[in-house]
Amino acid sequence: MDEIATIGFHIISIAKEKPEGVNNDDLAESLTSVPPEKRVQALNKLLQDGVLEILKKGTTLIYRLKDPGKKTNAPKDIDNEERVIYNIVEEGGNKGIWIRDIRVKSNLVMTQLTKVLKQLENKKLIKAVKSVNASKKKVYMLYNLEPDRSITGGAWYQDQDFEAEFVDVLNQQCLRFLRMKRDSARSSGEGPLAVQKLSECSVSDVHRFISDLGISKISLDEDDLETILKTVVYDGKAERIAQIDGSFLYRAVEAPIAAPGLVQMPCGICPVIKNCSDCGEITPKLCTYISEWLD
């Protein structure tokens, strides 16, 4: 066993006695006969081999034995500060981590943290992603990860902008498919219960129909289409039927009869109707609600 490996073995023994981690002073005190440069070489070797992990507590570097079940993909050719930031970003997974949280966990001043983040970005080890929940803020994640839907907004967002027109087209096409199923069932000549059953369709049926249409430039999965089907249900144009296995079927329903004009008048929900009269400040003649309704 060479000298560096022997020193590394002693460092591991010291770290085992202090599961919370050891700092350079602890190691210097325990390894009095080891020159500082040899100790640093042994520490770097253990860090590169993934035996130790490096943390920061205040301004002090802490070395701790790594949990065997916790693997990291940190490259071996990055310095200690970059390794600390990389490990923090890695913990954020595909949901990322805010720069403020990285700063709290790393205890680095903002200027130094910004510099380290930029270095890791230039090395294509991490990336900054804008979140639809806060367009002016960025989260950081490992470079090879696909951001979670909660960050990108999924299929309904493009460059942090909600694709209302795209959603509306999908809503119309999903409703068209449900109505086609209903019309086909009605023309089958079966009884009422059979027609109702034949009108029902699963999310996978709708997904297949939309995929065959080729109206989407991006890949949509069944969860995306179920989200659209729910909007059709909320519009009162379809119903959602629960199944024993926990899944749902969808069926087009007849739209309710439009309310007569008298019912649609704003008077029924007017917040100041009790003060309305033929004279005074609040009158039907001066009412902005009625004017907007008539327009």
Report yes or no: 129 and 147 within 8 Å, Cβ to Cβ. yes
Query: For residue 200, which of 214, 182, 183 has the smallest C-alpha distance?
Result: 182
- Whether 243 and 268 share a structural domain: no
Residue 143's pLDDT band (cuts 50, 70, 90): confident
* Residue 207: inside a domain: yes
Instruction: Let me know whether 106 and 56 are in one domain.
Output: no
Domain end call among 110, 131, 153: 153
d(CA 66, CA 53): 6
**pTM passes above 0.75:** no
pLDDT bucket at 259, cuts 50 / 70 / 90: low
Residue 178 lies in a domain: yes
Given a contact cutoff of 8 angstroms between Cβ atoms, the answer to whether 42 and 4 are in contact is: yes
Cα 74 to its chain centre, rounded Å, is 24
Work out whether strand 157-158 and strand 161-162 pair parallel, antiparallel, or are unpaired.
antiparallel
Q: What is the pLDDT of residue 201?
A: 93
Nearest one of 65, 68, 35 to 52, comparing CA atoms: 65
The single residue listed with the structure tokens 């023994």 is 13
pLDDT for res 25: 86
Final residue in a domain of this structure, among 65, 95, 111: 65
Instruction: For residues 170 and 239, state if they share a domain.
Output: yes
**CATH number of the domain within which 204 lies:** 1.10.10.10
Residues 241/196, Cβ–Cβ less than 8 Å: no
Q: How far apart are CA 290 and CA 286, in angstroms?
A: 9
Residues 188 and 109 in one domain: no
When mean pLDDT is compared across 145-149, 176-180, 246-250, the lowest value belongs to: 145-149
C-alpha 241: how far from its chain's center?
28
Residue 13: inside a domain: yes
Q: Could you tell me if 100 and 148 lie in one domain?
A: yes
**What one-character-per-residue DSSP string does 30-87 give?**
H-TTS-HHHHHHHHHHHHHTTSEEEEEETTEEEEEEPPTT------TTS-HHHHHHHH
- Whole-angstrom distance, CA of residue 225 vs CA of residue 201: 13
Higher pLDDT residue, 136 or 169?
Answer: 169
* 87-114 burial code (b ≥16 CB/10 A, e <16): bbbbebebebbebeebbebbebeeeebe
Q: Same structural domain for residues 268 and 242?
A: no
For the chain, the domain total comes to 4
Same domain (yes/no): 188, 206: yes
Q: Is residue 72 part of a domain?
A: no
- Strands 161-162, 134-142: pairing is unpaired
Mean pLDDT of 3-18: 85
* pLDDT of res. 208: 92
| Domain termination residue (choose one: 125, 153, 181) | 153
Residue 71 domain-assigned (yes or no): no
In a domain, 195, yes or no: yes
Dump pLDDT digits (tens) for 83-130: 888 888 988 888 889 888 888 887 788 898 899 899 999 988 899 888
> What's the pLDDT score for residue 239?
92
Structural domain that includes position 181: 164-252
Question: Are 227 and 279 in the same domain?
Answer: no
pLDDT surpassing 90 at residue 137:
no
Q: Residues 171, 232: one domain?
A: yes
Strand partners, 126: 142
Q: DSSP code of 236?
A: T
The answer to whether the beta carbons of residues 65 and 18 sit under 8 Å apart is no
Residues 139 and 96 in one domain: yes
